Amino acid sequence: MANESSKAGKVAKIVGFSALGLFILICFFKCFYTVSEQRNAVVTQFGQVVKVNTAGFYFKPPWQSVRKVDVTTHGTGIGYVVSETGQNITDTDNGIMITADFNLLNIDFYLEYRVSDPVAYLYNSEEPEQILSNIALANIRTVVSNYKVDEAMTTGKSQIQADVKAAMIKELEAYNIGLSVLNITIQDSAPPTDEVVAAFKAVETAKQKADTAMNEALQYQNQKIPEAEANADAIIRKATANKESRIAEANGQVARFNQMYTEYLKFPLITKRRLFFEKMEEILPGLKVIITSGNTQTVLPLDSFMTINNNTTQPTYYDDSYDNTNTDGYEED
């Protein structure tokens, strides 16, 4: 009996030591933990966050728990899904956007993000990645709707990416889900269907024709405007010359009139008669003019005596009463 009791005592000691060793091992593995370079460890005690550990080897009491969070860069597609063969397939529910000129556009984005706050990532939301995806999609739709379809497909890509990233950063700060955006890029953009592709090409062709017509119009304008300006300048120069000529002519006539008036003042009667004779000669060319003082009783036709070489010359007759006037403007006795 004593021998059996001693054996039982030894077995009990072995079991006790084994249990103690197992407890020590469990405590060792439970109280010590390591954190890799790609992760952060969030330590909690009775539901409260105690600390956040980066890479290293750590000890914790058994009543504390540790949750490790991957803090490396992750990527996800928006507007497309990756098939089993690795091919990108358009997500028609999320990839079709409407542009500022009311065209539909199939545009795909690739979003790169990482965990910036492990505590907020674990405890501020249940599905932070889904929230991030929703935020990205909402901001993409908003930004793309501010651009025309040709801009979104060509020159506006970089600005769209920058606008989406800035809007997401601002909204993620408000939501505080522990995620941050590193980069977002446009993978591809194209009209969504064959019909839309054909319509888009037709629109682009029409735009090119419009640009061609506008360039031709500008070329015609650039050609005609200098020609019109040259013609206008020639007309102005001609008008200016005509004006100066008229002014000079008028000034000459004024000077002539002033000279004549000066002579008229000296010899009024002679000047008056000379002007009268000159004007009559001007307005009555080739006519027979008979000048008399009114004392002539009879005027005989003298035409037959003035015919020379079958050409009739119309003489001018002066009355004798005018012969007694000398060139000095006074009458002789």
Q: What is the pLDDT of residues 133-158, one digit of tens each?
A: 999 999 999 999 999 988 888 888 99
**pLDDT band for position 291 (50/70/90)?**
low
292-299: which pairs have CB atoms within 8 A and are 24 or more residues apart?
292/317, 292/319, 293/319, 293/321, 293/322, 295/319, 295/321
- Confirm if 262 and 268 have CB atoms less than 8 A apart: no
Average pLDDT rounded to a whole number, residues 305-321: 46
- Where residue 47 falls (left for φ over 0; alpha for ψ -120 to 50; beta otherwise) is left
Rounded-to-integer distance, Cα 156 and Cα 136, Å: 18
Does the domain formed by 74-192 have CATH 3.90.1330.10? no
Q: How many angstroms separate the CA atoms of 60 and 207, rounded?
A: 70
Residue 29, CA atoms < 13 Å, CB-side half-sphere: 5
User: What residue spans define the domains of the chain?
Assistant: 18-69, 74-192, 194-266, 284-322
Which pLDDT value is given to residue 167?
95
Q: What is the pLDDT of residue 174?
A: 92
* Structure confidence at residue 321 as a pLDDT band (50, 70, 90): very low
What pTM value is reported for the model? 0.53
Q: Is a pLDDT exceeding 50 seen at residue 304?
A: no
Asked whether the beta carbons of 184 and 112 are under 8 A apart, the reply is yes
pLDDT average, residue stretch 72-96: 79
pLDDT at 8: 67
pLDDT for res 179: 95
pLDDT in tens, 87-130: 777 777 788 888 898 888 888 899 999 999 999 999 999 899 99
| Stretch 243-257: mean pLDDT | 89
Q: Choose between 82 and 2: higher pLDDT.
A: 82
Residue 75: count other Cβ atoms within 10 Å of its Cβ: 13
Q: What is the pLDDT of residue 105?
A: 85
Mean pLDDT of the chain: 80
More confidently predicted of 220 and 304: 220
More confident site: 330 or 287: 287
Give the span between the Cα atoms of 191 and 97, in whole angstroms: 10
**Separation between Cα atoms, residue 109 and residue 136, nearest integer Å:** 9
